[in-house]
Chains A and B, each alone.
Chain A
Amino acid sequence: MLRFVLKRTGDGLLTLAALVTLTFFALRLAPGGPFSRNRKISPEVQANIEAAFHLDEPVIQQFGRYLWGLAHLDLGPSTRFRDYSVSDLIASGLPYSLTIGFWAVVVATFVGIGFGLIGALRRNSATDYAVGVIAVTGIAVPIFVIGPLAQVVFALNLNWVPVAGTDGGWRSLVLPILVLSLPNIAYISRLTRSAMIETMRENYVRTARAKGIGPTRTIVHHALTGAMLPVIAYLGPATAAIITGSILIETIFAVPGIGRFFVDAALNRDYPLVMGITLLYGGLLIAFNIATDLLRGWMDPRVRHG
């Protein structure tokens, strides 16, 4: 087990190193720079500004400087948000993205699994189809349609929650969490449904039934555990994606999370900020993948003993 964790962590670090290198050089290929402006300023002053951010150095030297900073846990200064370092901005945005993401994952997991179970147990019934329609809608209708629609219905018409921003305390979070969880509810319910249908046909479930265990225990203790494996495989990377911020959700609902920093940074060629968020996202993705593998190993004897 320890060897497994060490090996996966080692692989993860290698992947991260490749990610940092690729992103660093790919960013420099994009036209323009952090201080290119509509209005041309004198070359000397432009040079002074670029020198202040070491942008005058050869790219390879800048890369060295960046790695040296990373080794000291310094992600560098932001060029778009001049008052802040990259660490400051991540520290400021991540709690919002994490809060919304965390609750969206919780909602999506419970509702998704519930829907999936209903679908599987009442297969081909009206309930199954109803749940299926909801799920397909969640996948098919994009966030930039559902988001504004939800704002009109729940904020403007019903006046239950604020339109956007964070002024309303927890009520401000309701819409972003719900809208963010919708597509995931859809995926999880579909995954649960098909996995459950398959698992119910497995020999060990038939054995459990034959032993005379009641239907509830059979489903919860035997079938559901098995059916959860694909859901967990999906949840790992999905959680990483959700909690690192949804750009659309954050823009539509004016949530100050890191997703918006990422877009702003990329459009404004804020190299250190793009690097910092890429690194964070990559790191989380790798960590969640490792965690998923461990969890599956623990839940599935075939993985454990295989």
Chain B
Amino acid sequence: MKKIVTNILRGLTLAAVLGTTALADDVLDRGIGSEWSSLDPQVVFDAAAGWIILDGYEGLVTFDPTGKVIPGAAERWEASADGKTYTFHLRDGLKWSNGDPLVAQQFVDGVLRTLNPATASEKGYYFYSVIRVKGAEALAKGETTDPATLGFTAPDDRTVVVEMLTPAPHILAIMGSFQVAPLHPSVTDASVFTDPSKFVGNGAYMISEIVPQSHVLMTANPNYWDAAKVAIQTVKYHVTEDVATELKRYQAGEIDITYDVPLNQIEPLKAEIPAELMIFPSTEVTYYSFNLTKEPFQNIDLRRALSLAIDRVVLEEKIMKGGAIPSFSYAGGFDPDYLGPKIAEAGMTQAEREALAQELYAKAGYGPDNPLKVSVVSTVNEDSTRRAQGIALMWKKVLGVEAVNEAQERKAWLDTFYAGTWDVFADNLTGDFAGAETFLAYMRPSAEPGYNWVKPEYDAAMDLAAEKTDSTSRNAALALAEKILLDDYIFAPLAIQPSRHLVKPNVKGFAASAASYHNSQFISFE
């Protein structure tokens, strides 16, 4: 309260609230969209804020500009023959930004804090669901508080051992700092994350200024083990909520790398500054789910007809124009080594698909005299409503379906999904890493994701895949599972969403990365 009063008094004089930071050329200015939900590495759950965490902390591994796993705090690691145990060896002489020595137990402490119910973190599932670390689930559920029960341990100061219940070759994808940041002993409550003077990290940068809804300023960490290779000394993350303003700030030179690009500006920008516009696939997939608890959608012919009647290429390239990649699969397109299936009709021409759709629609008992009436529940977001309207139009044209778009505010849209009152749900899922398993595991009926899909065969196929220790045979097993999933047409896969950025020509080291890890330490000015 006292703080409010003093700030009000200060606020009436202009100079007091605003620093006099001039626009310096050696500062890397990056847009991050909406404000970070938290700067607490064990709590923060939004991707853009993740960039700040990746700069401020280093996990056991880290990611190069293209998203490839490279050694981080751990210089090497090895897996046991059964693939269930990973041993990470930390570099010698690691330090925190304040000079304190960094020890292996602090990585364990970070995981324990994430799992501790008192932290109220949503990220515990990385350790009991994405990979299944021994004892993680019991700790997260509060069934035990004994840290010794966790299979994430530090036998000595330079070794971290992860013991899992099932093998998980994708473990490295979640050993970065967004998931396993080490915990410094000074972190006793969340208040340390609002005060830059209390910041202690082990990443390439340190947080040196925080202004909510405005920016986070980061400066190079002299105690980082690879500090000599860090080219840019100052990075400023700007909250750029309004995408049109962000574009103007980019044009004025206030932002070097934007968070997004306005959809209606993509065409002109492609013509004017094609070299600065970067559009590449992210790990977000868009699909339309059918409500299996409602009578009409229990008919697979109808679901299949609706899926086939959508011209995915026209939808993305002529209607949406946002750079999304039309897709006939659910989990494919992220990991280049995953050769998963597509829906059976992917090889047909759109005309053939539409003819088949009409046939199936009639077979399901619908026609001009008896059209299907559906409502598509989407968010109020302009992209979502435009996509829904485009699809409704295609359904109308090809099948004569009478579809209406029911646009709901985001939280209401989520509520509607779990209430199960929708016909068709404009769905999307962002994967935890650029691989097939993160998507396929989510769909497991046993995980109760809310689709009411009864398919023991799918769970069995996923269980089988979970036994595989190497990624090649695992991917092959996952592909079999995806076939079961796609064959039931419980949703119509539509597209892989892209990341869109404008990058100034003098910025080097910012590359396409599906996982969207863009550590500032690898970026430089030419």
State the A residues within 8 Å of B (CB). 30-33, 35-42, 44-45, 48-49, 51-53, 73, 80-84, 87-96, 98-99, 102-103, 148, 151-152, 155-156, 159, 162-170, 172-173, 250-254, 256-257, 260-261, 264, 267-269
Contact = CB atoms under 8 A, between A and B. Distances in A.
Given A40-B449, A165-B238, A254-B242, A170 B117 contact: no
A48 B411 contact: no
A42 B248 contact: no
Contacts of B240: 254
Given A45-B124, A92-B7, A98-B12, 13 more contacts: A30-B412, A33-B411, A42-B129, A42-B140, A48-B120, A82-B43, A83-B191, A84-B194, A91-B4, A91-B7, A166-B214, A251-B241, A252-B245
B12 A99 contact: yes
B254 A49 contact: no
A38 B429 contact: yes
A83 B34 contact: no
B456 interface: no
B8 interface: yes
Interface of B: 1, 3-4, 7-8, 10-12, 14-23, 34-35, 37-40, 43-44, 117-118, 120-122, 124-125, 129, 140-142, 190-191, 193-194, 211-215, 238-242, 244-245, 248-249, 251-252, 254, 409-412, 414-416, 418, 428-430, 442, 447-450
Contacts of B7: 91-92, 94-95
A167 B209 CA distance: 13
Nearest to A102: B12
B481 to A, nearest CB: 19
Contact of A168 (B23, B38, B442): B23
B194 A83 contact: yes
Given A81-B212, A163-B254, A168-B23, A98 B40 contact: no
A259 to B, nearest CB: 10
A252 B240 CA distance: 9
Contact of B252 (A52, A98, A163): A163
Given A162-B254, A256-B211, A88 B245 contact: no
A94 B16 CA distance: 13
Contacts of B21: 167, 169
A81 B35 contact: yes
Contact of A30 (B17, B251, B411): B411
Contact of B11 (A37, A52, A99, A170): A99
Nearest to A72: B1
A39 B11 contact: no
A256 B239 contact: yes
Contacts of A37: 122, 414
B14 A173 contact: yes
A102 B8 CA distance: 11
Contacts, number: 203
Interface of B is mostly: mixed
Contact of B212 (A89, A165, A267): A89
A83 B4 CA distance: 17
A253 B412 CA distance: 29
A170 B18 contact: yes
B238 A256 contact: no
13 contacts: A31-B415, A36-B411, A36-B418, A37-B414, A40-B449, A42-B125, A48-B120, A82-B44, A88-B3, A252-B245, A254-B214, A254-B245, A256-B214
B248 A163 contact: yes
B8 A256 contact: no
Contacts of A94: 4, 7-8, 11
Contacts of B430: 38
A98 to B, nearest CB: 4
Contact of A155 (B4, B34, B248): B248
B18 A169 contact: yes
B40 A82 contact: yes
A260 B37 CA distance: 14
A61 B236 CA distance: 43
Contacts of B142: 44, 48
A53 B120 contact: yes
A250 B501 CA distance: 23
Contacts of A260: 213, 241
Contacts of B12: 98-99, 102
Given A92-B212, A254-B238, A254-B240, A164 B18 contact: no
B4 to A, nearest CB: 5
Contacts of B428: 38
Contacts of B244: 148
A264 B34 contact: yes
A163 B245 contact: yes
A148 B252 CA distance: 13
Given A31-B415, A94-B7, A95-B8, A81 B23 contact: no
Contacts of B249: 162-165, 254
B125 A45 contact: yes
A219 B458 CA distance: 86
A92 B34 CA distance: 17
A98 B11 contact: yes
Nearest to B4: A91
Contacts of B43: 82
A91 B319 CA distance: 44
A240 to B, nearest CB: 14
Listed from nearest, the 3 A-B pairs whose CB atoms lie closest are A32-B411, A95-B11, A256-B213
A167 to B, nearest CB: 6
B414 A253 contact: no
A41 B35 contact: no
B122 A45 contact: yes
B248 A152 contact: yes
